[in-house]
Structure 1
Amino acid sequence: METQAMADARRWLAERGVVEAGDGWVDVEGPDRPLTANEVAHSWAGEVFTDEGLDVSEQVQLAFGLLDLLDDYWVTCEIRFADRGSQGPLPADVLWDGYRRRLEADRDADAVTYSLWADWFEDRETAATAFAEVLGNDVGHVVAEESDAPLRRAGRVLACAGPVPWPVKQKAYDIAVRLPALHGSLFKGLLAGYHDVYGDLEPMAALALLERLRLPAGTPFLAELRSVLAAGHRNHYRSPQAWDNVAQPSKE
Protein backbone atom coordinates (compact mmCIF):
# COMPACT_ATOMS: atom_id res chain seq x y z
CA MET A 1 0.00 0.00 0.00
CA GLU A 2 1.44 3.35 -1.02
CA THR A 3 1.58 5.94 1.73
CA GLN A 4 1.21 9.68 1.30
CA ALA A 5 4.97 10.07 1.84
CA MET A 6 5.63 7.63 -1.01
CA ALA A 7 3.13 9.39 -3.25
CA ASP A 8 4.79 12.74 -2.55
CA ALA A 9 8.20 11.29 -3.36
CA ARG A 10 6.90 9.71 -6.56
CA ARG A 11 5.39 13.02 -7.66
CA TRP A 12 8.63 14.89 -6.83
CA LEU A 13 10.63 12.48 -8.97
CA ALA A 14 8.10 12.66 -11.81
CA GLU A 15 8.41 16.44 -11.86
CA ARG A 16 12.08 15.86 -12.59
CA GLY A 17 11.44 13.34 -15.32
CA VAL A 18 12.02 10.19 -13.29
CA VAL A 19 9.19 7.67 -13.39
CA GLU A 20 8.76 4.03 -12.53
CA ALA A 21 8.51 1.68 -15.49
CA GLY A 22 8.20 -2.06 -15.19
CA ASP A 23 10.84 -3.42 -12.85
CA GLY A 24 12.92 -0.24 -12.89
CA TRP A 25 12.91 3.50 -13.36
CA VAL A 26 13.27 5.75 -16.38
CA ASP A 27 14.94 9.17 -16.43
CA VAL A 28 14.06 11.28 -19.46
CA GLU A 29 17.51 12.84 -19.33
CA GLY A 30 19.35 9.70 -18.27
CA PRO A 31 20.64 6.60 -20.04
CA ASP A 32 18.45 4.78 -22.53
CA ARG A 33 17.84 1.88 -20.18
CA PRO A 34 15.92 1.17 -16.98
CA LEU A 35 17.54 2.47 -13.79
CA THR A 36 17.70 0.58 -10.51
CA ALA A 37 16.35 2.04 -7.30
CA ASN A 38 19.95 2.40 -6.12
CA GLU A 39 20.85 4.47 -9.18
CA VAL A 40 17.86 6.72 -8.61
CA ALA A 41 18.82 7.10 -4.96
CA HIS A 42 22.38 8.08 -5.82
CA SER A 43 21.19 10.60 -8.40
CA TRP A 44 18.32 12.22 -6.54
CA ALA A 45 18.28 11.62 -2.77
CA GLY A 46 20.85 14.35 -2.14
CA GLU A 47 18.97 16.75 -4.39
CA VAL A 48 16.06 16.73 -1.96
CA PHE A 49 18.12 18.88 0.40
CA THR A 50 18.76 21.49 -2.27
CA ASP A 51 15.08 21.99 -3.13
CA GLU A 52 14.50 25.62 -2.17
CA GLY A 53 10.76 25.20 -2.61
CA LEU A 54 10.67 23.15 0.59
CA ASP A 55 11.59 24.10 4.13
CA VAL A 56 14.04 21.84 5.95
CA SER A 57 11.36 19.79 7.70
CA GLU A 58 9.61 19.18 4.40
CA GLN A 59 12.93 18.14 2.85
CA VAL A 60 13.45 15.55 5.57
CA GLN A 61 9.92 14.22 5.17
CA LEU A 62 10.39 13.99 1.42
CA ALA A 63 13.68 12.15 1.88
CA PHE A 64 11.97 9.56 4.05
CA GLY A 65 9.29 9.25 1.40
CA LEU A 66 12.04 8.47 -1.10
CA LEU A 67 13.39 5.88 1.30
CA ASP A 68 9.98 4.23 1.47
CA LEU A 69 9.60 4.35 -2.29
CA LEU A 70 13.08 3.16 -3.27
CA ASP A 71 13.87 1.03 -0.21
CA ASP A 72 17.54 1.84 -0.70
CA TYR A 73 20.12 2.39 2.03
CA TRP A 74 21.76 5.25 0.11
CA VAL A 75 18.81 7.49 0.91
CA THR A 76 19.63 7.17 4.61
CA CYS A 77 23.22 8.13 3.80
CA GLU A 78 22.05 11.38 2.23
CA ILE A 79 19.85 12.08 5.24
CA ARG A 80 22.85 11.65 7.51
CA PHE A 81 25.08 13.74 5.25
CA ALA A 82 22.53 16.56 5.46
CA ASP A 83 22.30 16.28 9.23
CA ARG A 84 26.05 16.18 9.80
CA GLY A 85 27.00 18.61 7.05
CA SER A 86 27.56 22.34 7.06
CA GLN A 87 23.85 23.10 6.78
CA GLY A 88 22.88 20.73 9.59
CA PRO A 89 21.72 19.60 11.96
CA LEU A 90 18.31 18.64 10.63
CA PRO A 91 15.28 19.22 12.87
CA ALA A 92 15.67 16.45 15.44
CA ASP A 93 11.96 15.85 15.94
CA VAL A 94 11.36 15.26 12.22
CA LEU A 95 14.55 13.26 11.73
CA TRP A 96 14.01 10.80 14.54
CA ASP A 97 10.26 10.55 14.07
CA GLY A 98 11.09 9.43 10.54
CA TYR A 99 13.31 6.67 11.86
CA ARG A 100 10.86 5.58 14.56
CA ARG A 101 7.94 5.35 12.14
CA ARG A 102 9.86 3.13 9.76
CA LEU A 103 11.13 0.94 12.56
CA GLU A 104 7.53 0.42 13.63
CA ALA A 105 6.15 -0.26 10.15
CA ASP A 106 4.97 -3.74 9.25
CA ARG A 107 7.32 -3.95 6.28
CA ASP A 108 10.98 -4.62 5.63
CA ALA A 109 13.23 -2.21 7.55
CA ASP A 110 16.67 -3.49 6.56
CA ALA A 111 17.81 -0.17 5.11
CA VAL A 112 16.82 1.64 8.30
CA THR A 113 18.39 -0.84 10.72
CA TYR A 114 21.57 -0.99 8.65
CA SER A 115 21.70 2.80 8.72
CA LEU A 116 21.39 2.81 12.50
CA TRP A 117 24.01 0.11 12.96
CA ALA A 118 26.66 1.15 10.44
CA ASP A 119 26.30 4.92 10.58
CA TRP A 120 24.64 6.27 13.69
CA PHE A 121 25.54 3.57 16.24
CA GLU A 122 29.14 2.96 15.18
CA ASP A 123 29.89 6.69 15.39
CA ARG A 124 30.68 7.57 19.00
CA GLU A 125 29.59 11.16 18.33
CA THR A 126 26.04 10.12 17.42
CA ALA A 127 25.48 6.74 19.08
CA ALA A 128 24.05 8.01 22.36
CA THR A 129 21.62 10.46 20.78
CA ALA A 130 20.52 8.03 18.09
CA PHE A 131 19.91 5.18 20.53
CA ALA A 132 18.02 7.43 22.91
CA GLU A 133 15.81 8.76 20.13
CA VAL A 134 14.88 5.42 18.57
CA LEU A 135 14.44 3.48 21.81
CA GLY A 136 16.19 4.61 24.98
CA ASN A 137 13.88 7.52 25.74
CA ASP A 138 10.68 5.47 25.76
CA VAL A 139 11.71 1.84 26.28
CA GLY A 140 9.88 1.73 29.60
CA HIS A 141 6.58 2.69 27.95
CA VAL A 142 7.18 0.23 25.12
CA VAL A 143 7.71 -2.65 27.53
CA ALA A 144 4.80 -1.67 29.76
CA GLU A 145 2.27 -1.19 26.96
CA GLU A 146 3.33 -4.15 24.76
CA SER A 147 1.80 -2.63 21.61
CA ASP A 148 2.75 -4.33 18.37
CA ALA A 149 4.31 -1.41 16.48
CA PRO A 150 6.51 -0.06 19.31
CA LEU A 151 7.59 -3.62 20.15
CA ARG A 152 8.54 -4.11 16.51
CA ARG A 153 10.69 -0.99 16.77
CA ALA A 154 12.24 -2.13 20.04
CA GLY A 155 13.12 -5.54 18.64
CA ARG A 156 14.75 -4.08 15.57
CA VAL A 157 16.77 -1.56 17.54
CA LEU A 158 17.95 -4.05 20.16
CA ALA A 159 19.08 -6.47 17.49
CA CYS A 160 21.32 -3.90 15.78
CA ALA A 161 22.58 -2.10 18.89
CA GLY A 162 25.83 -4.05 19.21
CA PRO A 163 28.06 -1.01 18.52
CA VAL A 164 26.26 1.27 20.99
CA PRO A 165 28.48 1.90 24.04
CA TRP A 166 27.47 -0.33 26.94
CA PRO A 167 26.80 2.53 29.40
CA VAL A 168 24.41 4.06 26.84
CA LYS A 169 22.36 0.92 26.25
CA GLN A 170 22.56 -0.96 29.55
CA LYS A 171 19.53 0.69 31.14
CA ALA A 172 17.41 -0.04 28.05
CA TYR A 173 18.65 -3.65 28.07
CA ASP A 174 17.75 -4.02 31.75
CA ILE A 175 14.23 -2.78 31.03
CA ALA A 176 13.74 -4.77 27.83
CA VAL A 177 14.73 -8.05 29.50
CA ARG A 178 11.51 -7.89 31.53
CA LEU A 179 9.59 -8.77 28.38
CA PRO A 180 10.24 -12.27 26.97
CA ALA A 181 9.04 -11.16 23.54
CA LEU A 182 12.24 -9.10 23.26
CA HIS A 183 14.65 -11.78 24.43
CA GLY A 184 15.53 -12.98 20.95
CA SER A 185 16.41 -9.46 19.87
CA LEU A 186 18.42 -8.88 23.03
CA PHE A 187 20.43 -12.02 22.31
CA LYS A 188 21.16 -10.80 18.79
CA GLY A 189 22.31 -7.47 20.22
CA LEU A 190 24.59 -9.14 22.76
CA LEU A 191 26.05 -11.44 20.12
CA ALA A 192 26.73 -8.46 17.86
CA GLY A 193 28.14 -6.56 20.80
CA TYR A 194 30.76 -9.28 21.07
CA HIS A 195 31.44 -9.95 17.40
CA ASP A 196 31.09 -6.55 15.73
CA VAL A 197 34.36 -4.71 15.13
CA TYR A 198 32.87 -1.74 17.00
CA GLY A 199 30.83 -3.86 19.39
CA ASP A 200 30.75 -2.84 23.02
CA LEU A 201 29.77 -4.71 26.17
CA GLU A 202 30.83 -5.34 29.74
CA PRO A 203 31.39 -9.10 30.05
CA MET A 204 29.98 -9.70 33.54
CA ALA A 205 26.99 -7.42 33.10
CA ALA A 206 26.31 -8.91 29.67
CA LEU A 207 26.58 -12.43 31.11
CA ALA A 208 24.11 -11.59 33.87
CA LEU A 209 21.69 -10.30 31.24
CA LEU A 210 22.27 -13.34 29.04
CA GLU A 211 21.36 -15.68 31.91
CA ARG A 212 17.98 -13.97 32.21
CA LEU A 213 17.00 -14.58 28.61
CA ARG A 214 14.46 -17.27 27.81
CA LEU A 215 15.73 -18.68 24.53
CA PRO A 216 14.82 -21.80 22.58
CA ALA A 217 16.84 -24.91 23.35
CA GLY A 218 19.74 -25.23 20.97
CA THR A 219 19.93 -21.50 20.18
CA PRO A 220 23.02 -21.17 17.96
CA PHE A 221 26.06 -19.57 19.63
CA LEU A 222 24.40 -19.30 23.04
CA ALA A 223 26.86 -21.65 24.75
CA GLU A 224 29.83 -20.01 23.04
CA LEU A 225 28.76 -16.51 24.03
CA ARG A 226 28.19 -17.61 27.62
CA SER A 227 31.68 -19.13 27.74
CA VAL A 228 33.59 -16.15 26.41
CA LEU A 229 31.71 -13.70 28.60
CA ALA A 230 32.28 -15.85 31.67
CA ALA A 231 35.99 -15.77 30.85
CA GLY A 232 35.88 -11.97 30.83
CA HIS A 233 36.31 -11.36 27.10
CA ARG A 234 34.86 -8.11 25.76
CA ASN A 235 35.17 -8.44 22.00
CA HIS A 236 36.03 -11.12 19.47
CA TYR A 237 38.65 -8.97 17.77
CA ARG A 238 40.58 -8.40 20.97
CA SER A 239 41.03 -12.14 21.52
CA PRO A 240 39.76 -14.14 18.52
CA GLN A 241 41.21 -17.38 19.83
CA ALA A 242 38.78 -17.30 22.77
CA TRP A 243 35.75 -17.87 20.57
CA ASP A 244 37.58 -20.35 18.39
CA ASN A 245 38.51 -22.41 21.42
CA VAL A 246 34.94 -22.77 22.64
CA ALA A 247 33.40 -23.07 19.18
CA GLN A 248 35.85 -25.75 18.07
CA PRO A 249 37.06 -27.52 21.19
CA SER A 250 40.22 -29.57 20.99
CA LYS A 251 39.78 -33.28 20.19
CA GLU A 252 42.87 -34.26 22.14
Structure 2
Amino acid sequence: METQAMREARRWLGDRGVAETADGWTDTAKPDRPLTANDIAHAWADEVFTDEDLDESAAVRMAFALLDLLDDYWVTCEIRFADGGPDGPLPAGPLWDGYRRRLEAERDAEPVEYSLWVDWFEDRTTTATAFAEVLGNDITTIVTTPTPPTLRRASRVLECSGPVPWDVKHATYTTAARLPALHEPLFKALRAGYHDIYGDLDPPAALTLLTHLTLPPDTEHLTQLRTVLSAGHRNHRHNPDAWAAAAH
Protein backbone atom coordinates (compact mmCIF):
# COMPACT_ATOMS: atom_id res chain seq x y z
CA MET A 1 0.00 0.00 0.00
CA GLU A 2 1.33 3.42 -0.96
CA THR A 3 1.96 5.71 2.00
CA GLN A 4 1.62 9.47 2.20
CA ALA A 5 5.42 9.76 2.10
CA MET A 6 5.55 7.69 -1.08
CA ARG A 7 2.88 9.89 -2.67
CA GLU A 8 4.94 12.97 -1.78
CA ALA A 9 8.02 11.38 -3.37
CA ARG A 10 5.98 10.57 -6.47
CA ARG A 11 4.85 14.21 -6.69
CA TRP A 12 8.43 15.41 -6.18
CA LEU A 13 9.59 13.27 -9.09
CA GLY A 14 6.59 14.34 -11.16
CA ASP A 15 7.59 17.98 -10.75
CA ARG A 16 10.84 16.97 -12.44
CA GLY A 17 9.18 15.18 -15.31
CA VAL A 18 9.56 11.66 -13.97
CA ALA A 19 6.42 9.55 -13.79
CA GLU A 20 5.39 5.94 -13.45
CA THR A 21 3.00 4.55 -16.03
CA ALA A 22 1.53 1.14 -16.67
CA ASP A 23 4.64 0.38 -18.71
CA GLY A 24 7.12 1.56 -16.08
CA TRP A 25 9.01 4.75 -15.28
CA THR A 26 9.52 7.45 -17.91
CA ASP A 27 11.09 10.89 -18.16
CA THR A 28 9.30 13.54 -20.21
CA ALA A 29 12.69 14.66 -21.52
CA LYS A 30 13.21 11.20 -23.05
CA PRO A 31 9.76 9.62 -23.26
CA ASP A 32 10.86 6.75 -25.48
CA ARG A 33 13.48 5.52 -23.05
CA PRO A 34 12.13 3.31 -20.25
CA LEU A 35 13.70 3.86 -16.83
CA THR A 36 14.35 1.50 -13.95
CA ALA A 37 14.09 2.44 -10.30
CA ASN A 38 17.88 2.31 -10.18
CA ASP A 39 18.11 4.78 -13.08
CA ILE A 40 15.91 7.21 -11.19
CA ALA A 41 17.81 6.75 -7.94
CA HIS A 42 21.11 7.56 -9.67
CA ALA A 43 19.64 10.52 -11.53
CA TRP A 44 17.57 12.17 -8.81
CA ALA A 45 18.26 10.99 -5.26
CA ASP A 46 21.13 13.42 -4.73
CA GLU A 47 18.96 16.33 -5.94
CA VAL A 48 16.86 16.02 -2.81
CA PHE A 49 19.71 17.51 -0.80
CA THR A 50 20.07 20.55 -3.06
CA ASP A 51 16.36 21.32 -3.34
CA GLU A 52 15.99 24.85 -1.96
CA ASP A 53 12.35 24.20 -1.12
CA LEU A 54 13.35 21.57 1.46
CA ASP A 55 15.14 22.29 4.71
CA GLU A 56 17.67 19.72 5.95
CA SER A 57 15.19 17.63 7.90
CA ALA A 58 12.62 17.70 5.11
CA ALA A 59 15.30 16.66 2.63
CA VAL A 60 16.18 13.62 4.74
CA ARG A 61 12.51 12.66 5.01
CA MET A 62 12.07 13.07 1.25
CA ALA A 63 15.11 10.90 0.60
CA PHE A 64 13.62 8.12 2.70
CA ALA A 65 10.30 8.58 0.91
CA LEU A 66 12.14 8.06 -2.37
CA LEU A 67 13.68 4.93 -0.88
CA ASP A 68 10.21 3.66 -0.01
CA LEU A 69 8.96 4.41 -3.52
CA LEU A 70 11.93 3.08 -5.49
CA ASP A 71 13.14 0.38 -3.08
CA ASP A 72 16.66 0.89 -4.41
CA TYR A 73 19.88 0.71 -2.37
CA TRP A 74 21.43 3.65 -4.25
CA VAL A 75 19.10 6.04 -2.44
CA THR A 76 20.75 5.02 0.84
CA CYS A 77 24.14 5.71 -0.76
CA GLU A 78 23.10 9.29 -1.52
CA ILE A 79 21.90 9.68 2.07
CA ARG A 80 25.29 8.52 3.28
CA PHE A 81 27.14 10.77 0.81
CA ALA A 82 25.13 13.77 1.98
CA ASP A 83 25.83 12.97 5.63
CA GLY A 84 29.58 12.75 5.01
CA GLY A 85 29.75 15.56 2.46
CA PRO A 86 30.77 19.21 2.83
CA ASP A 87 27.27 20.23 3.93
CA GLY A 88 26.94 17.34 6.38
CA PRO A 89 26.31 15.88 8.76
CA LEU A 90 22.59 15.41 8.23
CA PRO A 91 20.24 16.07 11.16
CA ALA A 92 20.59 13.00 13.37
CA GLY A 93 16.94 12.88 14.41
CA PRO A 94 15.31 12.34 11.01
CA LEU A 95 18.30 10.37 9.73
CA TRP A 96 18.20 7.62 12.34
CA ASP A 97 14.45 7.75 12.76
CA GLY A 98 14.28 7.00 9.04
CA TYR A 99 16.41 3.91 9.46
CA ARG A 100 14.61 2.70 12.59
CA ARG A 101 11.14 3.06 11.09
CA ARG A 102 12.06 1.05 8.01
CA LEU A 103 13.76 -1.62 10.07
CA GLU A 104 10.54 -1.97 12.05
CA ALA A 105 8.20 -2.10 9.04
CA GLU A 106 6.65 -5.34 7.84
CA ARG A 107 7.80 -4.78 4.27
CA ASP A 108 11.16 -6.09 3.11
CA ALA A 109 14.02 -3.94 4.44
CA GLU A 110 16.88 -5.36 2.34
CA PRO A 111 18.21 -2.00 1.02
CA VAL A 112 18.30 -0.56 4.55
CA GLU A 113 19.93 -3.66 6.04
CA TYR A 114 22.52 -3.74 3.28
CA SER A 115 23.20 -0.03 3.78
CA LEU A 116 23.85 -0.55 7.48
CA TRP A 117 26.07 -3.55 6.86
CA VAL A 118 28.38 -2.35 4.07
CA ASP A 119 28.31 1.40 4.60
CA TRP A 120 27.65 2.42 8.18
CA PHE A 121 28.88 -0.68 10.06
CA GLU A 122 32.02 -1.43 8.04
CA ASP A 123 33.23 2.17 8.38
CA ARG A 124 35.03 2.54 11.71
CA THR A 125 34.24 6.27 11.75
CA THR A 126 30.48 5.67 11.78
CA THR A 127 29.91 2.16 13.12
CA ALA A 128 29.57 3.01 16.82
CA THR A 129 27.09 5.82 16.26
CA ALA A 130 25.07 3.88 13.70
CA PHE A 131 24.84 0.74 15.84
CA ALA A 132 23.84 2.74 18.90
CA GLU A 133 21.17 4.66 17.01
CA VAL A 134 19.49 1.68 15.35
CA LEU A 135 19.74 -0.74 18.29
CA GLY A 136 22.21 -0.19 21.13
CA ASN A 137 20.54 2.82 22.71
CA ASP A 138 17.24 1.06 23.30
CA ILE A 139 18.03 -2.66 23.42
CA THR A 140 17.07 -2.78 27.12
CA THR A 141 13.63 -1.36 26.36
CA ILE A 142 13.19 -3.76 23.44
CA VAL A 143 14.07 -6.75 25.61
CA THR A 144 11.93 -5.59 28.53
CA THR A 145 8.83 -4.62 26.54
CA PRO A 146 9.16 -6.21 23.09
CA THR A 147 6.70 -5.47 20.31
CA PRO A 148 6.54 -7.01 16.83
CA PRO A 149 8.04 -3.87 15.19
CA THR A 150 10.92 -3.51 17.67
CA LEU A 151 11.67 -7.24 17.50
CA ARG A 152 11.84 -6.96 13.71
CA ARG A 153 14.28 -4.08 14.04
CA ALA A 154 16.44 -5.85 16.60
CA SER A 155 16.55 -9.04 14.55
CA ARG A 156 17.46 -7.25 11.34
CA VAL A 157 20.19 -5.17 12.96
CA LEU A 158 21.72 -8.15 14.75
CA GLU A 159 21.89 -10.19 11.59
CA CYS A 160 23.86 -7.52 9.71
CA SER A 161 26.05 -6.44 12.66
CA GLY A 162 29.02 -8.70 11.92
CA PRO A 163 31.39 -5.80 11.09
CA VAL A 164 30.59 -3.82 14.24
CA PRO A 165 33.61 -3.91 16.61
CA TRP A 166 33.17 -6.35 19.47
CA ASP A 167 33.64 -3.73 22.18
CA VAL A 168 30.82 -1.70 20.60
CA LYS A 169 28.29 -4.52 20.30
CA HIS A 170 29.15 -6.89 23.16
CA ALA A 171 26.91 -5.25 25.77
CA THR A 172 24.02 -5.07 23.31
CA TYR A 173 24.48 -8.75 22.40
CA THR A 174 24.52 -9.68 26.09
CA THR A 175 21.28 -7.82 26.70
CA ALA A 176 19.68 -9.32 23.59
CA ALA A 177 20.52 -12.80 24.88
CA ARG A 178 18.03 -12.25 27.73
CA LEU A 179 15.16 -12.52 25.22
CA PRO A 180 14.69 -15.98 23.64
CA ALA A 181 12.98 -14.42 20.62
CA LEU A 182 16.34 -12.86 19.70
CA HIS A 183 18.44 -16.00 20.13
CA GLU A 184 18.30 -17.06 16.49
CA PRO A 185 19.25 -13.62 15.09
CA LEU A 186 21.93 -13.36 17.77
CA PHE A 187 23.36 -16.69 16.62
CA LYS A 188 23.41 -15.33 13.06
CA ALA A 189 25.14 -12.21 14.38
CA LEU A 190 27.90 -14.29 15.99
CA ARG A 191 28.28 -16.38 12.86
CA ALA A 192 28.52 -13.21 10.76
CA GLY A 193 31.12 -11.82 13.15
CA TYR A 194 33.21 -14.86 12.36
CA HIS A 195 32.61 -15.02 8.60
CA ASP A 196 32.27 -11.41 7.41
CA ILE A 197 35.51 -10.16 5.91
CA TYR A 198 35.36 -7.20 8.32
CA GLY A 199 33.70 -9.25 11.05
CA ASP A 200 34.82 -8.82 14.62
CA LEU A 201 34.35 -10.89 17.76
CA ASP A 202 36.21 -12.05 20.85
CA PRO A 203 36.24 -15.88 20.84
CA PRO A 204 35.90 -16.53 24.60
CA ALA A 205 33.18 -13.92 25.10
CA ALA A 206 31.37 -14.99 21.93
CA LEU A 207 31.51 -18.63 23.06
CA THR A 208 30.03 -17.69 26.42
CA LEU A 209 27.14 -15.95 24.68
CA LEU A 210 26.67 -18.87 22.32
CA THR A 211 26.35 -21.37 25.16
CA HIS A 212 23.52 -19.32 26.68
CA LEU A 213 21.41 -19.32 23.51
CA THR A 214 18.46 -21.68 23.27
CA LEU A 215 18.72 -23.11 19.77
CA PRO A 216 17.55 -26.31 18.10
CA PRO A 217 20.38 -28.86 18.32
CA ASP A 218 20.28 -29.29 14.54
CA THR A 219 20.81 -25.55 13.90
CA GLU A 220 22.98 -25.30 10.80
CA HIS A 221 26.59 -24.36 11.61
CA LEU A 222 26.03 -24.38 15.38
CA THR A 223 28.61 -27.10 16.02
CA GLN A 224 31.11 -25.53 13.65
CA LEU A 225 30.81 -22.11 15.24
CA ARG A 226 31.17 -23.58 18.73
CA THR A 227 34.25 -25.51 17.59
CA VAL A 228 36.11 -22.60 15.99
CA LEU A 229 35.35 -20.30 18.91
CA SER A 230 36.53 -22.95 21.39
CA ALA A 231 39.78 -23.11 19.43
CA GLY A 232 40.21 -19.34 19.77
CA HIS A 233 39.66 -18.39 16.12
CA ARG A 234 38.52 -14.78 15.67
CA ASN A 235 37.64 -14.72 11.98
CA HIS A 236 37.49 -17.06 9.02
CA ARG A 237 40.01 -14.98 7.08
CA HIS A 238 42.75 -15.70 9.63
CA ASN A 239 42.49 -19.47 9.26
CA PRO A 240 40.34 -20.42 6.27
CA ASP A 241 40.70 -24.15 6.91
CA ALA A 242 39.39 -24.06 10.48
CA TRP A 243 35.72 -23.90 9.52
CA ALA A 244 35.91 -26.83 7.11
CA ALA A 245 37.86 -28.84 9.67
CA ALA A 246 35.22 -28.12 12.30
CA ALA A 247 32.60 -29.71 10.08
CA HIS A 248 34.34 -33.05 10.53
- TM-score of the superposition, structure 2-length normalised? 0.98
Deviation string for 1:201-252 (max 9, x for gaps)? 00010011111111123111111110000000000001111112112x3xxx
Q: How far, CA to CA, are the matches of 2:171 and 2:200 in structure 1?
A: 14
Deviation string for 1:167-219 (max 9, x for gaps)? 00011100000111111110111111000000000001001111111112311
Show structure 1 runs of 4+ deviating over 6 A.
Answer: none
Q: How far, CA to CA, are the matches of 2:31 and 2:95 in structure 1?
A: 33
1:22 deviates by: 2.5
Structure 2 residue runs without a partner (length 5+): none
Q: Residue type matched to 2:6 in 1?
A: M
Match of 1:94 in 2: 94
Q: How far, CA to CA, are the matches of 1:102 and 1:126 in structure 2?
A: 19
DSSP 3-state at the match of 2:25: strand
Match of 1:217 in 2: 217
Q: How far, CA to CA, are the matches of 2:141 and 2:47 in structure 1?
A: 37
Match of 1:79 in 2: 79
1:23 deviates by: 5.3
Residue 132 (structure 1) aligned with residue 132 (structure 2): yes
Q: Residue type matched to 2:77 in 1?
A: C
1:2 deviates by: 1.2
Match of 2:26 in 1: 26
Match of 2:55 in 1: 55
Residue 148 (structure 1) aligned with residue 153 (structure 2): no
Identical-residue share of aligned pairs (%): 67
DSSP 3-state at the match of 1:187: helix
1:136 deviates by: 0.2
Q: How far, CA to CA, are the matches of 2:32 and 2:59 in structure 1?
A: 29
Q: How far, CA to CA, are the matches of 1:57 and 1:212 in structure 2?
A: 42
Q: How far, CA to CA, are the matches of 1:170 and 1:19 in structure 2?
A: 46
Match of 2:199 in 1: 199
Q: How many residues align?
A: 248
Q: Residue type matched to 1:164 in 2?
A: V
DSSP 3-state at the match of 2:20: strand
Aligned residue runs from structure 1 range 3-22, under 5 A: 3-22=3-22
1:31 deviates by: 6.0
Q: Residue type matched to 1:84 in 2?
A: G
Residue 168 (structure 1) aligned with residue 176 (structure 2): no
Q: How far, CA to CA, are the matches of 2:30 and 2:56 in structure 1?
A: 28
Question: Is the contact made by 1:203 and 1:233 (CA closer than 8 Å) also made in structure 2?
Answer: yes
Deviation string for 1:74-115 (max 9, x for gaps)? 000000000001110000011000000000001100000000
Match of 1:66 in 2: 66
Q: How far, CA to CA, are the matches of 1:154 and 1:67 in structure 2?
A: 21
Q: Residue type matched to 2:10 in 1?
A: R
Q: Residue type matched to 2:216 in 1?
A: P
Q: Residue type matched to 2:34 in 1?
A: P
Between 33-42 and 79-88, report the one with greater CA deviation.
Answer: 33-42
1:30 deviates by: 3.1
DSSP 3-state at the match of 1:19: strand
Q: How far, CA to CA, are the matches of 2:88 and 2:174 in structure 1?
A: 34
DSSP 3-state at the match of 1:128: helix
Q: How far, CA to CA, are the matches of 2:195 and 2:50 in structure 1?
A: 39
DSSP 3-state at the match of 1:13: helix
